[in-house]
Every structure is written in C-alpha cells, then in structure tokens.
Amino acid sequence: MKLKKELRIVLVIMALIAMVMVMSGCGEKDKDDKESKKSNFETPISNYFNGMEKADLDTYKKAYPDFYNDSMDLDEDDMENMHEKLEDEYGKDLKISYEITSNDDIKEEDIKNVQEYISLKYKEDVKVSEGKEVKIKATIKGSEDSDTDTARMYVYNIDGEWKILNTSPSAAKSYINIYK
C-alpha cells in the first residue's frame, strides 16, 4: 500500500511538472523533428517518460504541443528539482518504465470539442484530427524503493503531430460550456 501511495505521489508530481513544462515553449522545429513527431500516438508518451527519467527538459517538452509548452514556465531547474524529489523518494539510479494497457479512440464529436477548447483556452487555431485515451501502467524504481500504478493519458493528433494534452474530452466540453 505504501508503494501505491508513493507512485501516486510520483504521478502527481509528473503531471504537475508536465503541466509546467508544457507551458514553457519548445523552440523551432526542423523538418526531421517534424517527421519524428508524426510517428504514432506512443511517441509523446515515450518522450514524457524518457524526459522524466533522464531529467531532460527538451525530450520532456517534445511530449506536448508548442502552445501548451508556451503557456508553462518550466526550465532546467524545474526538471532538476523534480528529479531530486523522485530521488529523495526512491533513491538514486531512477528507472521509469511503462506499459500501455489499452488505447481507445476518442469520438469525432469529442475531438471537435478538444479543438474548440484549444482555441478558447490557448487562442490557437489548430486542427485536431484524432485522439486516444491511453491507459498506462507505470513503474518507477530507484536504489531504495519502487512503485507501480496506473494512469490515464490523452493524446491527440494536433496539426499532424501526436501530442499529450492533459485534457479529457469531458473536461474540454465543460470548459467550453463555462467560457464560451
């Protein structure tokens, strides 16, 4: 039970860091970078966990759309602080692994709501063409402790690139109903 609690703490910390990092901006993309981001819905999830494990801000930011990164104020210090907190909890030599346990397509109507949500919240004119609700079993291991828990992520194909957006279709719809 202690492990589950600790993993939840880690997942909450990861979500907070993700939110902050996504709002800080990614910089320019070149053609090769764009091509690599187009691969599939698993790419941003891999970037997310690899960036966290290695405390690599650039890799971590690749998991999110630029507009989301621009709205955050994350820097290398934030990434290092997150990594230090994980090491305090789990020990040195951190390894984060994950398994995708399911992925479900998001309905077209919900995709339209997510697109409208992005337009309202971030003032961005983007095309969201598809989305997936992905269930993940994540494990974090360090020299002193480990924990495994499940999480849900939402990934969307935004302007031809798969990216994580920490917004479910129902949350997007609620936002629209409040702010439209």
Total-model pTM: 0.78
Please name the residues in contact with 123: beta carbons below 8 A apart, sequence gap of 6 or more.
none
pLDDT at 6: 54
Burial of 115 per CB tally in 10 Å (0-12, 13-18, 19+): buried
Residue linked to tokens 């917004």: 167
Share of the chain above pLDDT 70, in %: 78
CA distance 115 to 124: 9
Q: Does 33 have pLDDT greater than 50?
A: no
Class of the CATH-defined domain 2-179: alpha beta
